[in-house]
């Protein structure tokens, strides 16, 4: 059971890193630091969009942009970190007590 919980926590961490990477890459494109038409950048952006958009679009349905500012990545990160901490708080102490 502990390995399943560890896998879930790794998936939550991976999703957090993907969201952070997508936001950073999008900022680099918007500020003109990276060319969005480059094939590598385009492939990375497509990968990030396909992996993060299901979660972010779900949040965007409930919370619209605020004057052109999309806060769905911040809300997603807060939610992922909250769920991760909640799982760690309620499962790992019990698992460590069994050892």
Q: Is pLDDT of 95 > 70?
A: no
- Pick from 27, 9, 8, 22: which is nearest to 73 by CA? 22
Instruction: Compare 26 and 2 and report the one with higher pLDDT.
Output: 26
53-94, pLDDT tens digit by residue? 999 999 999 998 888 899 999 999 999 999 999 988 888 766
Place of tokens 């990968």: 47
Question: What separation in angstroms does the CA of 40 have from each of 31, 34, 47, 72?
Answer: 18, 10, 11, 25
Instruction: Compare 94 and 98 and report the one with higher pLDDT.
Output: 94
Structure confidence at residue 2 as a pLDDT band (50, 70, 90): confident
């Amino acid at each position: 059971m502990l390995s399943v919980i560890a896998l879930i926590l790794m998936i939550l961490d991976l999703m957090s890193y993907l969201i952070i990477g997508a936001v950073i890459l999008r900022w680099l494109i918007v500020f003109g630091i990276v060319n969005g038409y480059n094939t590598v950048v385009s492939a990375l952006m497509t990968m990030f969009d396909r992996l993060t958009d299901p979660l972010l679009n779900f949040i965007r349905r409930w919370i619209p942009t605020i004057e052109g500012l999309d806060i769905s990545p911040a809300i997603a990160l807060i939610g992922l970190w909250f769920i991760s901490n909640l799982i760690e708080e309620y499962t790992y102490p019990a698992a460590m007590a069994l050892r």
